Amino acid sequence: MAASRRNPTPVAARDTSPNTGGEKPEYRVEALAKGLRLLSLFDEQRPTWRVSDLAAASGLPMPTVYRVVMTLTAEGYLDHLPGGDYRPGVRTLTLGGAALRSLDLVALATPKLQRLGETTGETVNLAVLTGDRVLYLVRLRNSDLVTANIQVGSTLPAVHTSIGKLMLAGLDETDLRERITDASFPGQHGPNAKVSLDELRQELAQIRDQGWAMQDEELAHGLRSVAGPITGAGGRVVAGVNLAVQARDWSTQRIVRELKPVLLATCAEISQLAAAGSAGA
C-alpha cells in the first residue's frame, strides 16, 4: 500500500477533541456529532451497550439516542444482538482498519518491525498514546505469546504497558495529571503493577532519563516487554515500539542485555525515516 504524502503524525498526536477550535459553528452537524459520541463509548472494557445505558452514559435524551442507534444499525455501524445489546458493526471495523492502514508511520515502520520480529523471534508492537491508554497500530505476534490477547486497534491502560509508560514520561506535569486519574489504574492487572500516579512517578522520571521503558509483569502475569521511542519533529516522542516476551524465558537483565540494543536501533531507524518523510512532504 502506498504511503500518504501527509506529515506522518499518528492519530493520537492529533487534536481529536469535540471542540474544533477554528471550525465555523454552522459547519457542525449535530446529528453526526451525537452518533460519533455514542460510537466512542464502545471499547474493550465495554464492547456492548443497551440503548438506555448509552443514553445515561452520553447524557443525551433517550429518544435521540434511540433514533441515532437505529440509524447506525441500519447503516451497518452497529449490530443488534439477540439479547437487546448493540455492538460495533462491520462498517465501523472497516473504517477503523482503513484509518490505521493509512497512517504514514505504519507504512514506514512495518518493514523495520518485521525485521525486528524475525531477528528476535519475539512479538513486536507499535502503539501510540490516546488519552490514558495506548492504541496498537501494528502487532507482529510470536505464536508462543499467549498471555495477552491484543490485536491491531486494541487499547490497554498506559500505566501498565511499556509503551504507555514511555510516552507518559514525555508529558509535562499538567498533561500528565489531566490524563492519569484514579480510573486510569484498572483493578485487573499483573502482580507488579503500580496502582497510583504517585507510585508511578519515580519510574517515569527514570524512563525520561534513560530513554526506554520496561513492563515487568504489570499488564499480566508472565508477560514482560521493553519499549523504545519513535520521535518526530523536535525530538518529541510520537509513538513507541516494544518487544513482548514470556517472563519464564526472559529475565529483566537478559531483556536489557539482548533485546534493548536491537530495539533501540530499530526505533532510531524508524525515527529517521519518519523525519525524512516529514521533510519531503
Cα distances (angstroms) measured from residue 7 to each of 107, 108, 159, 220:
13, 12, 28, 35
Distance of alpha carbon 218 from the chain centroid: 17
Residue 158 confidence (pLDDT)? 95
| CA 275, chain centre distance (Å) | 21
Q: Give 65-104 as a DSSP string.
A: HHHHHHHHHHTTSEEE-TTS-EEE-HHHHHHHHHHHHH-H
Please give the model's pTM, rounded to 2 decimal places: 0.66
How far apart CA 183 and CA 166 sit, in angstroms, is: 19
Q: Where are the domains of the chain?
A: 21-89, 103-280
Backbone angles phi, psi at 80, to 5 degrees: -95, 115
Provide CB contacts within 8 A for 223, sequence distance 6+.
Answer: 145, 147, 148, 190, 215, 217, 244, 245, 246, 247
Residue 163 pLDDT level (bands cut at 50, 70, 90): very high
Phi and psi based region of residue 59 (left: phi greater than 0; alpha: psi -120 to 50; beta: remaining): left
Residue pair 176/131 in contact (Cβ under 8 Å)? The answer is no
Confidence of residue 178 (pLDDT cuts 50, 70, 90): confident
Say how far apart CA 127 and CA 161 lie, in whole Å.
10
Judged by DSSP in three states, 43 sits in coil
Asked if residue 165 lies in contact with residue 134, where contact means CB atoms within 8 angstroms, the answer is no
Classify 244 as helix, strand or coil. strand
pLDDT at 16 over 90: no
User: Which pLDDT does position 161 carry in this prediction?
Assistant: 96
CA distance 117 to 241: 11
User: What letter does residue 152 receive in the DSSP assignment?
Assistant: T
Please determine, for residue 101, whether its predicted confidence score (pLDDT) is greater than 60: no
Q: Residue 200 above 80 pLDDT?
A: yes
Q: Is the pLDDT of residue 236 over 90?
A: no
Record: fold of 21-89: Arc Repressor Mutant, subunit A (1.10.10)
**How many CB atoms within 10 Å of residue 118?**
10
**What three-state secondary structure class fits 126?**
strand
Query: What is the CATH topology of the domain spanning 103-280?
Result: Beta-Lactamase (3.30.450)
In angstroms, the CA 94 to CA 71 distance is 18
